């Protein structure tokens, strides 16, 4: 547990690491979203049988 506390060092380091990780997640999410996407077409009318 003590190792974890020292590794983070300070709140400043922790905050910057959180920002960096967050940015990476956002970029990855957008890259994935550009490749795999879906559309919900609300304008489609239901066709009855």
Partner 1 sequence: MIQIFKKEFNSFLNSLIAYIVIGVFLTAIGLLMWVFPSSSILDYGYADLDSLFSFGPYVFIFLIPAITMKSFAEEKKLGTLELLFTQPLTDLEIILGKFLASFALVLLALLPTIIYYYSIYQLGNPIGNIDTSGAIGSFIGLTLVGAVFCIIGIFASSLTSNQIVAFILSAFLCFLVYNGLDSFASLPVFGQQTLFVKQWGILYHYESISRGLIDSRDLIYFLSALAFIFLLTKITIGSRQWQ
Point out which residues bind partner 1 (CB under 8 A). Answer: 10-12, 15-16, 18-19, 22-23, 25-26, 29-30, 33-34, 37-43
Q: C-beta of 49: minimal distance to partner 1 in Å?
A: 22
Q: C-beta of 33: minimal distance to partner 1 in Å?
A: 4
Q: C-beta of 45: minimal distance to partner 1 in Å?
A: 9
**Alpha-carbon distance 14 to 44, whole Å?**
48
**Alpha-carbon distance 37 to 11, whole Å?**
37
**Alpha-carbon distance 10 to 43, whole Å?**
53
């Amino acid at each position: 547990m003590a190792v974890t506390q020292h590794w983070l060092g300070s709140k400043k380091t922790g905050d910057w690491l959180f920002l960096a990780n967050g940015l990476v997640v956002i970029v990855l999410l957008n890259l994935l979203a550009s490749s795999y996407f879906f559309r919900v077409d609300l304008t489609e009318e239901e066709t009855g049988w």
